[in-house]
Amino acid sequence: MKNKIVGFLNKGSANSQPAPIRQGSFGEDNDDSGYKPTKGISLDNSQSKINVPQPAFNISENAKAILINQELRKRTAVDLTIALINMFKDKTLDENKDIERKKFEKQLLTDYVVFVKLLNEAEDEEDGAGTLGFTLALMKVCVAQRDRINELDYNVKTLSLKIDQLLRNNNPNQKP
Question: Which pLDDT tens digits describe the chain residue by residue (176 residues)?
Answer: 444 444 444 444 445 555 555 555 555 545 555 556 566 666 666 776 776 666 555 667 766 776 678 888 888 888 988 998 888 888 888 899 899 999 999 999 899 888 888 888 877 778 888 888 888 888 988 998 999 999 999 999 999 999 999 998 887 666 55
Q: Give dist(CA 112, CA 77) in Å, integer.
A: 8
On whether the CB atoms of residues 174 and 168 are closer than 8 A, the answer is: yes
Q: Quick check: helix, strand or coil at residue 51?
A: coil
The model's pTM is: 0.52
8 A C-beta contact, residue 84 and residue 112: yes
Helix, strand, or coil (residue 105): helix
With residue 167 as reference, give the H or E element that holds it. Answer: helix 129-170
The amino acid sitting at 136 is: L
